[in-house]
Amino acid sequence: MVAALVSLPLTLAPVIAHAAAEGPVFVDGEAQPVFDPADVVRESLYVRAPVDSDRDGKPDEVYTEVVRPKATDRGLKVPVVYMNSPYFSGGNDVANHDVDVELYVPDGRGHYDRRDGTALTAQADERIAAAVGPNAGPITSARYEGYFIARGFAVVYAESLGTGKSTGCPTSGGRNETIGAKSVVDWLNGRATARDATTSAPVKAAWTTGKTAMMGVSYNGTLPNAVASTGVRGLEAIVPIAAISSWYDYYRADGAVVAPGTYQGEDLDVLAEYVYTRADQEICKPVIAGIAAEQDRVTGDYSAFWDERNYVKDADKVRAAVLAVHGLNDWNVKGKNVVQWYEALRRNGVEHKIWWHQSGHTDPDTLRSVEWRRTLNRWFSHYLYGVANGVEREPKATIQREDKTWVDEADWPAPGTSEASLRPTAGGASKGGLSTRPLTGKPVVEGLRDDASILAETLVDAAASPNRLSYATRPTTTSLRLSGTPKVDLSVSFDRPAANVTALLVDRFPDGTSKIVTRGWTDPQNRSRPDRTKAVEPGERYRIEVGFEPKDYVFAAGHSLEFVVLSSDHDYTLRPQPGAGLFVDLGRTTLDLPVVGGQAALRRAVG
């Protein structure tokens, strides 16, 4: 095998690209396209998983398709790029939950969940509203398959349990789904069995080295996180793009029921129903009903159910090198999911790199294809083929700036970042101030009334409103860069026993237009911890921390930084009837920002 790892100077690359090689070729640390991507062996099989999630008394089976260079029939052994998905067989029309409901009150006067008629629509890049079910068509990935095959990698696809031709049940991030996806890695390494999809004859993966990488976008990128968190041997690298690291932080925020962007009312049970495309449409109904009950849209509390779907807690088990990618404007899978995963991996000494781009929920191949594929190639060449290309010593962070240029930095958050603080000053019903100096004099308490029918963007741009409080710095004299996770420490009381709390960070442009840079939400009933609801006593003042979604953002010189408090966020939170009152003690409220240059840089910018 070592003899097949040929490394040649860059000047020979055009010749090599057209050579008929029986082994991979590397130039400047990158695998070259020396195989014919049409000269392949295709296999369809079922991998046995050691779980019985559909409770039929038989082990679940994962439907798997293999595409490998024909040279593997002549003795070549290659590593694998593995893509697992619940979407290969389409999806079902499913009603989302009704979000126009009253909030839970611990004495039992809470709401009961119900459905409305809003269908779950197709999701960009992933949820394909095509044929549904196990006969939906062949599995393929036109974007990457030919690229990897040509460079000496096999490509393996597998359908998540309960979807398409796989048996078992879909559980939206549950243990069985992880085990099903992991079983394919085990099969590639000789630790699991498989049978031919047509003849049922045993199938072994004798053609592979066993070294495997997983990659994908959104749910397809979440599964690599899940499998890596098991510590499975043979999974050498993962590329989670726009991926979830904790399903609680996809559908909840510190006790608040919060939607992924543009999918108001979606929850774990809705997603499980959406991907439930196996032929037997009855066997998994009890399992999905259990999800609907255990996800708890009433209190929003963290629980053992959500802990099962939290991969961050198992970051110490990860063996795979992680190249994480996320959009700075992704409000579907929000930034917290990549940041908490990335930080946990770094703490545990896992090889890591992050790409941040300025788009939303998308693959960077659509944004910067040449450089992205070069990075991906080098990552897989190093971690799957052992090529000493130095990728592990390169800058850890690649960031697309607001002007769409790209920069490499040592790591993320940006070096030199530290916490800096601002404090609100009176006038929030129209526009109060934000100062680097503490508020002095008599206590100032300002209030707002909830009205979930009003969009946050409308409230931000209102000259005055009883439904929000708004505070702004003077226009900045220099640019100011945030890099990390902002938070606000609120001192707040309520006139009702239940209310949403939403915080916004806004960039106000010199022409008066605005952009919501980041948001944060919390349930004051979970003020002490996300897994415990404690009653709110009207009139009592509480210290409540609201964490914003992480950001890397530059406020240009001449812009103002604004901080806005409201109650319900129409596009994200549950939407109770209007009227709840929130009362903020300004003197005891602090906005903490991760600023490059820290407090000194903040003072220079805003005084």
Q: Which residues are catalytic?
A: 218, 330, 361
Select from 126, 103, 99 the least CA-distant residue to 114.
99
User: Which amino acid is it at 282?
Assistant: E
Nearest-CA neighbor of 256 among 568, 566, 467, 504? 568
Cβ-contact 172, 160 below 8 angstroms: no
DSSP 257-316: EBPPTT-TT--HHHHHHHH--SS-SSTTHHHHHHHHHHT-TTT----HHHHTTB-GGGGG
Composition of the chain by helix, strand, coil, percent to 5: 20, 30, 50
Report CA torsion sign: 85, 86, 87, 88: positive
Please, are residues 163 and 276 in contact by the beta-carbon 8 Å criterion?
yes
Residue 205, token pair as written in the block: 């993966």
Task: Tell me whether the omega of the peptide bond preceding residue 413 falls within 30 degrees of 0, making it cis.
Answer: yes
Do 46 and 194 meet the contact criterion of CB atoms below 8 Å apart?
yes
**CB-based burial of residue 418 (10 Å sphere; 0-12 exposed, 13-18 middle, 19+ buried)?**
middle
**64 CB-contact burial (10 Å; exposed 0-12 / middle 13-18 / buried 19+):** buried
Strand-pair category, 352-357 with 397-400: parallel
Burial class (CB in 10 A: 0-12, 13-18, 19+), 363: buried
Give the DSSP per-residue string, 314-365.
GGGG--SEEEEEEETT-SSS-THHHHHHHHHHHHTT--EEEEEESSSSS-GG
Measured CA to CA, the distance from residue 484 to residue 133 in angstroms comes to: 42
Question: 493 - beta bridge partners?
Answer: 583
Beta bridge partners of 25: 6
Six-digit token string for 563: 């901080």
- Residue 45, beta-bridge partner list: 64, 196
User: Is the distance from CB of 68 to CB of 154 less than 8 angstroms?
Assistant: yes
Whole-angstrom distance, CA of residue 251 vs CA of residue 244: 10
The 3 state secondary structure assigned to 357-420 is ECCCCCCHHHCCHHHHHHHHHHHHHHHHHCCCCCHHHCCCEEEECCCCCEEEECCCCCCCEEEE
Q: What end-to-end distance do the CA atoms of the chain give, in Å?
A: 64
Report H helices in 430-551. Answer: 456-461
